[in-house]
Amino acid sequence: MNKDVCIIATRGSALALWQARAVGQRLAAVHRGLRVIVREVRTEGDRSQAGGTPLAMHEGRGVFTREVDNELLTQQADIAVHSLKDQTTTLPAGIRLGMTLERGVAEDALIARADIALLDLPKDAVLGTGSPRRRAQLLRIRPDLRFTEVRGNIDTRLRKLEEGQVDALVLARAGLERLGYANRITQTFAAEAVMPAPCQGIVGVTCREADEDTQALLLAADHPSTHAQALAERSLLRRLGGGCHAPIGALARTHKGVLYLRAVVLSPDGRKAAEAMGKGPIPEAEDIGVRVAQDLEARGAVALLRESSV
């Protein structure tokens, strides 16, 4: 190893800092004597969140990742740590995905004020989520549901729940568990019912393409099967042209050298859906993503995505 210090760029949210520390711990465990420095960055998404702007209005712009990756391009940091589901499907020029941590739980979870499951919520219940993907899939289960955007950190969202502004929240289970809120979960949605966002539960680490020392540092600490899952899900999303707020769900799994990928594209009201699945050798992860996306296109995904963009 030719490096003894690694500077990590990250957002300053509690979850982002958890992720950065986890990456730092992984690197330090693999590379004895490596000193890790965390550099916090305020992003457009953080500023918009403070101002109450809906995230869907910033679709595809990398509002939680662009300024963090820019720390790499200006050589203020060696690596950048992201919730990979927030990262743009095409990385900025000069940057590559260097490693992933082992994937956490991928599913979405419900936190209801009355400690009940989705089917037990009252008629016309209001759920807090700004995700078109979640809304569309939950409407397939409960067409009477209503939705409202709930912004801010988890504490802020829980306070809005407790104040009665919403009947329940829908959030990524991984983030809740990582920050110690697992005991608040009242239902975990099976992927077959509510397909997760592409790369949900995956922590990704980017670096400069020209920085071979850092690439080697990351490669030694990478989790290969999770990395392959990320490549498959991201290539599917890139082929479909969907941003991180499009009504697209995808989940890859690996077993005995084979990668399995399932995906769904939905209309905004959840009444129409195109679903597809595929499999192949793990080294073909990106090709598998493209093939499944092409299958979805043949099943009407393009028209469904056009509906969601109106």
The pLDDT assigned to 60 comes to 46
Q: For the residues 195-216, what does the mean pLDDT come to? A: 97
Task: Give residue 231's pLDDT band: very low, low, confident or very high (50, 70, 90).
Answer: very high
Do 235 and 213 lie in one domain? The reply is no
Which of 188, 214, 244 is the last residue before a domain boundary?
A: 188
Do 88 and 129 lie in one domain? The reply is no
Within-domain flag for 240: yes
Q: For the residues 150-176, what does the mean pLDDT come to? A: 94
Do 67 and 25 lie in one domain? The reply is yes
The pLDDT assigned to 56 comes to 46
Do 124 and 252 lie in one domain? The reply is no
The pLDDT assigned to 43 comes to 67
Do 129 and 147 lie in one domain? The reply is yes
Within-domain flag for 197: no
Task: Give residue 49's pLDDT band: very low, low, confident or very high (50, 70, 90).
Answer: low
pTM for this entry: 0.92
DSSP string, the chain: ---SEEEEEEE-SHHHHHHHHHHHHHHHHHSTT-EEEEEEE--HHHHHHHHT--GGGGTTS-TTTHHHHHHHHTTS-SEEEEEGGGS-SSPPTTEEEEEEPPP----EEEEETTS--GGGSPTT-EEE---HHHHHHHHHH-TT-EEE---S-HHHHHHHHHTTS-SEEEEEHHHHHHTT-GGG-SEE--TTTSPPPTTTT-EEEEEETT-HHHHHHHHTT--HHHHHHHHHHHHHHHHHT--TTSSEEEEEEEETTEEEEEEEEE-TTSS-EEEEEEEEEGGGHHHHHHHHHHHHHHTTHHHHHHHHH-
The pLDDT assigned to 250 comes to 98
Within-domain flag for 195: no
Within-domain flag for 196: no
Do 4 and 75 lie in one domain? The reply is yes
**Token representation of residue 258:** 């084979």
Do 297 and 159 lie in one domain? The reply is no
239-260 pLDDT, tens digit each: 999 765 689 999 999 999 999 9
Catalytic option among 78, 86, 108, 211: 86
Within-domain flag for 252: yes
Do 161 and 73 lie in one domain? The reply is no
Active site annotation includes 86: yes
Q: Give me the chain's average pLDDT, please.
A: 92
For residues 151 and 108, the model is more confident at 108
299: domain CATH number is 3.30.160.40
Above 80 in pLDDT, residue 285?
yes
Tell me which residue range forms the domain holding 251: 223-310
Rounded percentage of the chain residues whose pLDDT exceeds 90: 84
Within-domain flag for 167: yes
Above 50 in pLDDT, residue 273?
yes
132: domain CATH number is 3.40.190.10
Say how many domains are in the chain: 3
Do 85 and 210 lie in one domain? The reply is yes
Of 24-28, 33-37, 66-70, the one with minimum mean pLDDT is: 66-70
